[in-house]
Structures are given as C-alpha cells and as structure tokens.
Structure 1
C-alpha cells in the first residue's frame, strides 16, 4: 500500500491541494474547541481529561486528512475516533454500570465482534455507504441508555441525546457525495460540527455523573 497516495472521497475536494477542502478542514476546529472546553471542565477529573485529550487528537487527525488527503492521514483520522469509542465504553462500563476494571475491559473488547456483526447489516441500508462503519455506535449508546433508564435516568437521558445527535451527524456524512450536483460544498462539514458537539456532550454526561453523582 502506498501510504502517501491521495484520497479523494468528499464532495468538496476537487483537486490534490492542501486547501482543496477548506470548509471540511476548518470545521475540525470544532473538535479542538470542544476538547479545550472539556479539558478545562475536567480539572481534577482524570477520565474527563483523558477523553478531552483524545478529542483533541480527533481534531488534529481529521484536520490532517482533510488537508493532506493521504492514506496515512486517513489512519490518523480514524484511529483517535476508535480510541475514543473504546475508552468511553470502558469508562461507561466502570462508572455507569459499576463493573470491575477486568469486566469493564472485557465489555470493551466485545465492541469488536459487535461491530463485525452489525456493520455488514448497516451496509445494506440504501444510501448509508461508507458511513455504515459508524452506525453501530449510536445503536450501542441507545442500548446503554435503555439499560440505565431506571438506575441512572439522568445518565440514560444524556446518552440518548448523544446518540440522537450522532444519528443526525451520520446522516450528514452519508449524504455528502449524493448532493454534489446541487450543493458542491457537500455536507461532510456538518459531520465535524455535530460530532464535536456530540463528543463534547458525551464527556459532559460523564463529568456530571462523576462530579455531581
């Protein structure tokens, strides 16, 4: 595989230039802003600051991909997202469900077979395309919300809100290439903005639980 090969997978990109996706590139600042806010919010709360640091890495990785548009930058884009997902699952298992660190880790590892089983099903949904890889995540968040609805209703409500925002975010991501003819800017930038809101909100849900109980 040629790691420096160019990747052109977004409506806004019309060439190989660094600023060929200016809106997609600049909207990654939303991740950075959310990460800085979460870092300040999480003073003295280690799990929150860990998530804030990962959120910052998401912004940097996505920024690299939407400017350099190479395969290695694509890896830098998706790896921090995966790390965030796995970290949040672990923290949810440990703090929301009250599991030991061992069982929290086991529950986190189960994300991989869960994703392997559900991504092909979402891939069959017309129009979802490459966004099928993200679709299992809001479903999983909703599942946690349902499981916690009686014991931790405020957490459950917060998780459900986060899942709803992510569903909308994935919708904009999936629509991107399909609207090029009538809207050359595309809709991928909304994926960045809504994702930044959603990831920041998910950190807020955890912070409220850890600090306010």
Structure 2
C-alpha cells in the first residue's frame, strides 16, 4: 500500500490511497478493514434469503457459489485494509474480479438458455490472475472492463425478464451511490478527511455489499422463462 503525508490542523497524518489515516496497529486502515466484513454478512444473507425460493439443485449451486465469492471479496478486502501483507493486492482484486465474471457469465448463460455454461466465469478469472499479480495497473483496467461487461449483461437480463428489473435497478443504484461517495472521499477530493471515523471507502464497502445482496435474486435463473415454465422435452417417436 502506497502512503503519503497529509497535513491536517498543523499535524501530519499518514494516509492510504483511499484517504483513510494509516495506523500502526494490526489494522492498517481500521474503518475500511471493519466495513470489509459487510460482504461476509451479505454472503450469509444471500444464502439465508435464497433458501426458500430456489427450486432447482442447479440454481442452488449457483447461488451458493455466488455467496462464496461475495464472502471472498470481504475477506480479501480485509486482508488489504487490515494486515496488508505483500500479497494483499491479489487477495483484494482476485475475488472481486471473480464475482464480476460470475455475474456476467450467469447472466449470459441465462440469456442464451444454456445454463450449464454459467461456470465459464472461471476462464476470465484464470486469465486475469497473472495480470493482477504481475501488473496491478493492468489488473485495475481488467477490473473495469469486467465490471462494464457484467453490468451490461445484467441489464440485458433484466430487460428480458421484467421480474428481475427491480433488484437490478436497486442494486445498480446502490453501486452508483457507493461509487460516488467513494470517489468524492478519495485523496484530493472534497470529502477526504484522513482523521475522521467517517470514510467514504468504508461507505462504499457497505453499499456495494448491500447491492450484491439485492441482486442475488437474479442469480440461478434457468432460461428466459425460468425453470417452472421451461418447455418440456420432445418425446421420441416410436416405430410407426
């Protein structure tokens, strides 16, 4: 984590790239480290809320996979903002990239009616892994590209399935508000105050976790008509 000096009321506070003051304790950025656990709480909620509604085993597998990825986002974020070891960039970025790839692949599989291809999220994740490890800046670009693709595919999915429009709209709105707060609170922006317990990046964690929970009902659908309305398989004709 790159740090820099930040003058505040005649004192000097060492801040991280997200503006929060860096401490000498076990957690480098305490507020961001604590709020990272919002994703883990969100993962638990995803599983708990989906249990009564998921009606096929395949869909349930996809929901649980999604929950594991969301929890991994929180753990990776805590690693970076907490102890911050040398490998923290990979721990932080890889689960996030995997979650974005999952959402995009799940939406694409739903739109194409090929539900078995939802696991294709593993391929872009594996390709981007060495980029994240060896070239963090390029990894950031890949993260933006995956995010754009995931958003586009999710919007197309909601357009095809009106029942999914509400969770998609609310989820994207939460992400937009969180991104705005996080950006305005970065170093050099108006809301940056390294010594304050209010940190915009922490607010981004909470709102992003909430958005992933809200969008969970979009995960696991089978085809545009859903599993309960799927067309029955054709019967083979017997000898005439």
Distance in 1, Cα, partners of 2:73 & 2:159: 33
Rg bigger for which structure? 2
TM-score (norm 1): 0.71
Cα displacement (A) at 1:74? 2.2
1:35 alignment counterpart:
43
1:141–1:163 CA contact under 8 A, matched in 2: no
1:135–1:170 CA contact under 8 A, matched in 2: no
Aligned CA distance change for structure 1 residues 13 and 183 (closer, same or farther; 3 Å): closer
2:106 alignment counterpart:
91
Q: Does the residue aligned with 1:77 lie in a helix, a strand or coil? A: helix
- 1:69 is aligned, of 84, 88, 109, to 84
Distance in 1, Cα, partners of 2:73 & 2:45: 15
1:145–1:155 CA contact under 8 A, matched in 2: no
Distance in 1, Cα, partners of 2:154 & 2:89: 31
Structure number having the greater strand percentage: 2
Cα displacement (A) at 1:26? 1.1
Query: Once superposed, what is the RMSD of the aligned Cα atoms?
Result: 3.7
2:192 alignment counterpart:
180
Equivalent residues, number? 193
Structure number having the greater helix percentage: 1
Distance in 2, Cα, partners of 1:137 & 1:161: 20
Cα displacement (A) at 1:158? 2.5
Deviation string, structure 1 residues 116-158 (Cα, Å, up to 9, x no partner): xxxxxxxxxxxxxxx8876556654553355345531122343
Specify every segment of 5 or more residues in structure 1 that has no aligned partner in the other structure, as ranges.
Answer: 113-130
Q: Does the residue aligned with 1:68 lie in a helix, a strand or coil? A: coil
1:141–1:159 CA contact under 8 A, matched in 2: no
Specify every segment of 5 or more residues in structure 2 that has no aligned partner in the other structure, as ranges.
Answer: 4-15, 52-56, 128-139, 230-240
1:160 alignment counterpart:
169
